[in-house]
Structure 1
Amino acid sequence: MANEINDQDESSPRLDPSRYWKDAEKALRSSQEHFRMFLTTISDAVYRMNADWSQMLTLEGQEFLATTEKPSQYWFKKYIPLQDQPQVQAAIEQAIETKSIFELEHRIILADGTIGWTLSRAIPLLNTQSKIVEWVGVASDITQRKQAEESLNRLQKRTIIAVEAAEMATWEWHLAANQVYWNEQHFKLLGMPLQPEPMQPADFLSHIHPDDRQRVTDQLTQAIEQQGIYDTDFRIIRDDGTLRWMSGYGRITEEVDGRPSRMSGVMFDITDRKQAEEELKEGAQRKDEFMALLAHELRNPLATLSNTVQILQLTKGTNEMLPLESALTLMSREVSHLVRLVDDLLDVSRINQGKTQLRLASLDLTSLVRQAIEAARPLVETGQRQFMASLPGEPLYMQGDDIRLTQMIRDLLSNAAKFTHNNGHVWLTLEQVGGEACLRIRDDGIGIAADQLDRIFTMFVQVDTSSIRSQGGLGLGLTLVKQFAELHGGRVEVASAGVGAGSEFSIYLPLKHPNHTVTHNEYG
């Protein structure tokens, strides 16, 4: 049996080692070619490097990089931009030292000479002694991706700048976790110190004014349920107790399985806008009231004139109840009243349009005030009012328009008389205060409420409409006083202890040659 086996072994064909080796080499080359083709298919370039990367053995670029069929020692300078070479060299040295995969995103010089971006990966091939023989790598063209990232980064930076410039708060509500992420501005708008995120919805809702809280809550809930828009204005109470107006906007920005999972939005301060809107509304209302007052003020003298003319036409001036001389006096008075109304309107209009020009000249304010007092005394002392004045004994010289200055004094004295009851008191004082002349007109009349002091000089604002109507006039006098004083380089101040406590108006005007010693003369 053993002989039979031996005979069979001797008669069997023998294997040819050289042929076996050639077949193995052929199979290996085929495998390498298939592997190379595979790499070429999944990447934009395939390359081979020697052990220390000093020489590029081959490069197939597929129009991404200039193909290199022969070994090249100059590949580094050819393909890597100068400013990127240190970074790439450091990554190569690290991969060689650790015998690990080389992987790096870096800029590269493309086949057409322009600069692009690549993601390069290479693996080391080791021999039986674990020494690197060569590197096989692939490079992918990521130029478009990098350009898109750079564009996105620029857009994000511009967005951040715009948000910061607009002082806009941003928020992101993760609905499933019920957590809200705020930017720094959100904390600032609510007057809160910066706190670790995330916040809770209640942290925001607790700052909303109680009268607005339910409405905002309902709108947020509706926007989530209907995947609509949240857009509303509301008031907040900051941590320091101040009230501000905010505008909020938000919408669903992410869904999971068709259900809202994230809501994002912004909030910004609109207090100034709301105040401007309120001022516009108040201004419109004041104009309406002013027009009604103007109609009333014009109707009375016009009615008097019309009735007087009719009586004269019927009686030829022979009516004993209204003789011609009395009729003419009455008509002259009403015409003067109309002229005064029209003059005030024209003065306000000219000032608002910047068309008023003062006729400045050197004048003695002491003398001018004395003359204005004598002209206004009959009006002020009507109704048994007592009028007392104190003037300097020396001249106070200034550059001024005598007509406008006289008008200012007349308007303040008329105002004091109008709002001081019979048997009341009016005081006028002129004195030098530093380099200015100070004219004070004080009364013990009806006074001014504290909340009206800041508005008293505003056009169309009436502190006590019923009193003004009963006394006549459009209430433009104080507006003109303030504007004429400012045109002279001066200012007007008002003070009052409240309703029923009288009031004091002070006009400050710059002097031309201030006196160091001034005496006063009082007379009543």
Structure 2
Amino acid sequence: MSSSPQPEAELAKLRFTLEAANAAMWDIDLVANTVVWSENAEQVLGLRPGALSTTFVAEPEWIHPEDRAGTLTALWEAARGGETYVIEHRIVTADGETRWVTARGGAVLDDDGSPARVVGVLVDITDRQLLAERLRGELAAKDRFLTTIGHELRTPLTAILGFSAELHDRLSDEELAPVRDIAQIITQQADQMVALIDDLLVAGRDADSPVPIDPHQVELCGTVRRVIDGWPDEHRGSVSIDEGPVRAFADPIRLRQIVRNLIDNAIRYGGPTITVRCWETPIEGRSHLVVIDDGPGIPSTPPEPDTGVHPTGIGLAVSRRLAERMGGSLSYEHVDGTTRFELELPLEA
């Protein structure tokens, strides 16, 4: 039977582990009001030798002034409750440099179940925090870039839409009908480009910089009518919409974006008839908009693994994200030859 490791060997292992993790340990005796630090504590905290007191100090100067109260409150609440705590806070080194640490601690109870000591570890996470700040800066720069690109692309497209629509209206002569049809195609394609830009601007954002939402009281079926009002007759005529006002609490611009994607998807992959139904469930505080068609449904090709976007387009992925941002959901099912998309939104604020 092998003998247990000697205390010196155990201390050597602990010392090596702390140095490898750039971490320091501490042990507060709540009865004697003393603190025992690991040998490397002052090095980890960037303090001069002898700077750490062996008597517990109510307001340690090495904790950043703005973080001091919250850090100590978490420590004492853990001590009183006999629980553990984890908190990230800043420290100030002897040279005045601000660094970040993760503090993990917990109470040690005596035989009576009362907190007798609080022990813990401090791990330097400055490099991780700096990386996170840099990533946040890069994400903000990306968002500014996307916004600028969106504006720059929309400006000429708006002109194309305006002039092509005017050209179409002026070409009333029957002999110019082919040219009028071309003008209408230009208008439709430019409108699709604007829609694609809107979707790309949403898809380009992530959880740390979500698309802004400004919800208001809106009318669901009326929104559908306004979306398809400017579409070609053959598309507009294939959509049947419920009558009657149905309320919802949503961002009007983002709701139109979702509706446009759902109707466009139904036209692309659905059958000859598309039905839009809207209703309220006041008891649940929800509103519903359902787009139904009798087409084959979305192709079975799986989404791209890196983006989660379906190869058929980003519109549905963007619509689901927008629905969730507005406190709702977007579901899809294809059963017995019928495809059904259901958008659920809050009824009121």
Normalising by structure 2, we get a TM-score of 0.45
Using CA pairs under 8 Å that are at least 6 residues apart, name the structure with larger relative contact order, 1 or 2: 2
Normalising by structure 1, we get a TM-score of 0.31
Name the larger-Rg structure: 1
